[in-house]
């Protein structure tokens, strides 16, 4: 799927990957549900997230947390503040540490609760997308607090691209479980 260049393509990409992800979740086998995610035997999977996430709950809560970051950040438009996208004390070099904070604080959440939170935050992000015009979403530096990028790229990252990441992780787990 090509990278979205307007609001309608953004909505379509987000909804398409969301539906694919939800279908993958619904059709998991008992073995997929009951087996811990373990990619330690695959030397190609070097990124920290392959070691971090141990189950679907962890993946869904990760997606939810990034939705919440985005929703909080776009409040800049309403209140004129210049809050950073990432949590305080983190930057793009240390966001992996921030992801570990997300991981740690979700360990008492059930998979069912994680799914409900993810569904809700996805819905809220989709509502938010519709409050922006194509120009607002895809014009670089339209909003000063976005920097040299455009806000649409953040929506893409938090939705369709991140959902694709989750599906790749689930497919890799399915392959291991057999």
CA angle 82, 114, 123 (to 5 degrees): 55
Asked whether residue 31 is assigned to any structural domain, the reply reads: yes
Does pLDDT of 1 surpass 80? Answer: no
Asked whether residue 50 is assigned to any structural domain, the reply reads: yes
Looking up residue 52, the CATH number of its domain turns out to be 1.20.120.450
Query: What's the pLDDT at 78?
Result: 84
Instruction: Provide the residue range defining the domain that includes 130.
Output: 7-177
Query: What's the pLDDT at 79?
Result: 84
As a whole number, the mean pLDDT across the chain is 95
- Model pLDDT for residues 30-62, shown as the tens digit of each residue: 999 999 999 999 999 999 999 999 999 999 999
Task: Give the whole-number percent of the chain exceeding pLDDT 70.
Answer: 100
Helix axes 111-129, 7-26, angle to 10 degrees: 170
* Through-space distance between the first and last CA atoms of the chain, rounded to whole angstroms: 28
Distance set, CA 155 to CA 125, 139, 166 (Å): 8, 13, 16
Asked whether residue 2 is assigned to any structural domain, the reply reads: no
Q: Structurally, how many domains does the chain consist of? A: 1
Asked whether residue 1 is assigned to any structural domain, the reply reads: no
- Model pLDDT for residues 75-115, shown as the tens digit of each residue: 988 888 888 999 999 999 999 999 999 999 999 999 999 99
């Amino acid at each position: 799927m090509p990278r979205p260049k307007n609001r309608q393509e953004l909505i379509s990409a987000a909804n398409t990957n969301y539906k694919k992800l939800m279908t993958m979740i619904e059709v998991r086998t008992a073995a997929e549900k009951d087996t811990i995610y373990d990619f330690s035997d695959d030397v190609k999977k070097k990124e920290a997230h392959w070691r971090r996430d141990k189950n679907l709950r962890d993946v869904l809560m990760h997606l939810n947390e990034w939705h919440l970051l985005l929703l909080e950040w776009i409040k800049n438009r309403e209140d004129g503040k210049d809050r950073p996208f990432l949590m305080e004390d983190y930057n793009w070099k240390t966001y992996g540490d921030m992801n570990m904070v997300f991981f740690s604080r979700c360990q008492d959440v059930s998979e069912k609760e994680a799914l409900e939170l993810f569904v809700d935050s996805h819905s809220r992000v989709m509502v938010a997308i519709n409050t922006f015009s194509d120009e607002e979403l895809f014009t670089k530096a339209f909003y000063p607090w976005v920097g040299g990028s455009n806000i649409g790229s953040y929506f893409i990252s938090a939705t369709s691209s991140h959902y694709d990441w989750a599906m790749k992780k689930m497919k890799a787990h399915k392959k291991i479980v057999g």
